[in-house]
Amino acid sequence: MTRRTSGGAGPQRGGERSARTSRFFALFAPLAAFSLLASPDWYWLVSRAGALTLFGTWIVLGRRAIAVRRLLTLDGVLGIVGLLLVVNGGSPFVASVGGALVLAALASIRVERSPCSRASALTGALYCVAWAAYLANPCLFTKIRDAATGWSGLVGSAFSCSLRIGPSMQGAWLGLLALSLLLARFTLVERRWHALAAGLAVLVAANICLLRLLAAYGETIPTASHAILPWIVVGWPALAVVCWMVSQSGESTRRTGRTLSRTPSALLAVGALAALALAGSSHLVRSRPSPRVLLYSLNEGPILNWDRPHYGEYGAYSLGMFGLLPEYLESDGYLVEFLNEPLEAEHLADVDVLVTINVDTDWSSEELAAIEHYVRGGGSLLVLGDHTDANGTRSSHNSLLSMVGIEFNFDSSVPANRTGWDRSDAFFHALHAGMDHGGELGIAVGATLELLEPGALPLLVGRHGLADRGDPDAPDRAYLGDYEYQHGELLGDVVLTAWSRLGAGRVLVFGDTSSLQNGPLQQTYLPHVRRMFAWTTGATVWDLGIGGTIAAGIAFLLLAGLLLWTSRNEPRTAALFALAVLATRAGTEDVQESLLARGDGRLDHPIALLDESHFSGTDFRADGPRNVSGLRNSLVRSGYFVQTLDEFDEEALERAQLLVSIAPVRAYTPFEVDALERFMTAGGTVIVAAGHPDRTGVAPLLDAVGISIMPLPIGPVPLDRDPRRPRDRVGYVSAWPLRFAERCEKRTTVYGSFMEYPLAALVEVGRGALFVVGDSYFFGSPNLEGFDDWSEPNIEFVRDLLSHVASLGDRSGE
């Protein structure tokens, strides 16, 4: 009798343990996948691949618990939509909403819809709502960061160490995910306050462990590795503990009674009001026709010039600094003026935006009063500066910005992880409409900004940025620090750009000038700089002000919380609401973009496209053999506006005059070859650089025209190339000869040869042409133009080529 009972209890306990383990895995695997998407700490491809792997593993191992027939319902459709957002979503917020949809779908398609599975769905929705509220209300940032840095300072003092750690580097977003799960458990499984307190204690303990680790080893750990620490200490370990706590709670659920989920009309009304509150917090501005821009130029010198790139000057700093900005603005319909004398109130009459860049002179009290009066009356001020106190600009910036409570710090904003500024918090704003990540702004190393007034709001925050203190004893290197973390420096959540209202006007501040410099401007003007000037010169259409925005944010949180609470047992409702939040944001962005749009979106410049849609062989390392910065420089000197073609688009081809393809890996399809032939026939030019080993990608295009690359390695030309000798003729790095079909010989002009072998040639196609050089490295910076070395014969070769193809078929006026 005793043995029989003992033998039965053992399997029963084992079954219970197995059930708990199963529930733990069903919670942890999907939420771990969601954390990769929701916490933008990794390269985008890594986070997507990791998330999809974890989701797929859960589905495969838990396939017996899945009701396949439910995949054909709305729940399955939402899951598919979520996967599409995960795979194709550009921004971390979009990907997190996709992850929330997948969590809800996984909860809905289970055979047994347990409270634990529903808790994971509610967790994803809670996280997305909290993130949307945060991004829509940047006024929360300063309070959250101040609390986090104060807490880190308190913990650091216990270990005799000065710490200023931002919330992101403390794992706040991973902690938020675990906290959302605790709240979902409290709501759905069992309402026990001591269990909630125990979970919070786990998170606090993990946070203290992280801060202790930073206090002890923060200065010895490589700066690029700091972003991984929250994952190791706070992230998945703490999430695993919380998931285990939830999984031990059993399968009983609380009785909820009648909720809004039983009354669809009420549910829809609450959701619509929440979406309206989110949309209402937006700041809408409409662009003006022929706006006037005043560029303050009294400080022209080492840190400000309006030089443009031109042939004859090569290498370091040969492109000039900001000369292309007024040129592009004028071609975009702006009226640009320069101010080369002390500012007076009369200078600001009828001006839409005053732009100051690296001003190193002291403002007089009369000038400051005139500028403040101008902004309060409805004008805009755009201030751009650089790191530390380069050339004594910091005091000038800060005296000018004291009226809005924004300061330049004596430091440098250094990315503290390998993803640079790509994984930054871009708050919801018209300037960020359509932007996937902060790296698109072209920000490099500038100063961090301090926000001293409630109305001073962050725009772009570097989650893993380091505010590297300047060195006051190093004027020879612009007071730059050591680019390594030292105790007392702010680690995480550094403000890179900010703005503030002032009366009827606006002030926009960038802690770095790189976005507007001649080099990056090719990539930043159309998607971002153009919008920046449209916004600063535009007229306000809708603005609730700082108080109204806060009220709208509170209303959104209350309504969203009410909706999720009353429908907490319905994963589908949580998923639909997360999707509605994303749709609301997407719709608001569309409105913002349409209001700021200028004309047909074209510039009065010929456009050159660098084709990256076929995974070209270009190298983005500064010293890489296929780095094309030298080619970009020559294109700019020849008057082209250079853009990168990330996806093959015939509409983009129609706007362009030139396309460059360098050793593409993926072959051009028949459709793309036809499009390129039409492009050339209408007057466009395609430039191809590929040796015989790299011919596969361009072979379909070359075959259509009648060109082939021979399998005969010529090698470097001249054969005795010596980097120490002056370059007196056109050089090739790894040349392969070309062969021409009889049908195209009469239309062919040979540009370069070795003995009887043609190495570079141009074939006329209609009004345009195809230029081919049998060398994948020909346009690489080491062969053309680098930072401190260049080949004038090769540069002149490219100059003559571009001049010739421009004369074949000028399509810029079409």
Closest CA to 638 of 811, 515, 804: 804
Q: What is the pLDDT of residue 813?
A: 43
Model pLDDT for residues 247-262, shown as the tens digit of each residue:
665 554 444 444 555 5
Mean pLDDT of 72-99: 79
Please provide the distance, in angstroms rounded to a whole number, between the alpha carbons at the two ends of the chain.
96
Q: Using the structure block, give the residue that is written with the tokens 């390269």.
A: 43
User: Does residue 271 carry a pLDDT above 50?
Assistant: yes
Q: What is the pLDDT of residue 14?
A: 53
How many angstroms separate the CA atoms of 217 and 213, rounded?
6
| DSSP secondary structure string for all residues of 302-326 | TTB------TT--STTTT-SSTHHH
User: Does residue 592 carry a pLDDT above 80?
Assistant: yes
Q: What is the pLDDT of residue 255?
A: 45
Model pLDDT for residues 509-541, shown as the tens digit of each residue:
999 999 999 988 988 998 899 999 999 999 999
Indicate the CATH number for domain 607-808.
Answer: 3.40.50.880
Q: What is the pLDDT of residue 268?
A: 80
User: Does residue 207 carry a pLDDT above 70?
Assistant: yes
Instruction: Identify which has the larger pLDDT, 235 or 334.
Output: 334
Neighbours of 350 (CB within 10 A): 8
**Tokens representing residue 522 in the block:** 């090719």
User: Does residue 762 carry a pLDDT above 50?
Assistant: yes
Domain boundaries, the chain: 19-253, 284-542, 607-808
Q: What is the pLDDT of residue 57?
A: 64
User: Does residue 3 carry a pLDDT above 50?
Assistant: no
Q: What is the pLDDT of residue 365?
A: 95
Strands 494-502 and 456-462: antiparallel
Q: Which of 437-446, 503-512, 720-729 has the lowest mean pLDDT?
A: 720-729
Specify the DSSP element, H or E, that contains 536: helix 530-537
Instruction: Identify which has the larger pLDDT, 624 or 474.
Output: 474
How many angstroms separate the CA atoms of 776 and 683, rounded?
25
| pLDDT band at 335; cut points 50, 70, 90 | very high
Q: What is the pLDDT of residue 571?
A: 80
Name the DSSP letter for residue 664. -
Alpha carbon distances (Å) from 616 to 183, 715, 755: 48, 21, 30
User: Does residue 735 carry a pLDDT above 90?
Assistant: yes
User: Does residue 240 carry a pLDDT above 50?
Assistant: yes
Q: Do domains 284-542 and 607-808 have the same CATH topology?
A: yes
How many angstroms separate the CA atoms of 643 and 608, rounded?
6
User: Does residue 602 carry a pLDDT above 80?
Assistant: no
Mean pLDDT of 530-559: 92
Mean pLDDT of 301-305: 87
How many angstroms separate the CA atoms of 295 and 340, rounded?
9
- Compute the half-sphere exposure of residue 350: CA atoms within 13 Å on the CB side of its CA: 5
Contact between 641 and 606 under an 8 Å Cβ cutoff? The reply is: yes
Mean pLDDT of 375-382: 97
> What pTM did the predictor assign?
0.89
User: Does residue 398 carry a pLDDT above 50?
Assistant: yes
Q: What is the pLDDT of residue 2?
A: 44
Mean pLDDT of the chain: 84
**Tokens representing residue 650 in the block:** 């015939």
Instruction: Identify which has the larger pLDDT, 735 or 79.
Output: 735
- For residue 240, the one-letter residue type is A
Instruction: Identify which has the larger pLDDT, 727 or 478.
Output: 478
Q: What is the pLDDT of residue 70?
A: 55
User: Does residue 811 carry a pLDDT above 50?
Assistant: no
User: Does residue 690 carry a pLDDT above 50?
Assistant: yes
Q: What is the pLDDT of residue 242?
A: 75
Instruction: Identify which has the larger pLDDT, 534 or 192.
Output: 534
Choose the CATH number for 284-542 among 3.90.1150.10, 3.90.660.10, 3.40.50.880, 1.10.150.120: 3.40.50.880
Closest CA to 92 of 149, 39, 156, 164: 39
Neighbours of 284 (CB within 10 A): 17
Mean pLDDT of 97-109: 81
Q: What is the pLDDT of residue 252?
A: 46
Name the DSSP letter for residue 66. B
| pLDDT band at 564; cut points 50, 70, 90 | confident
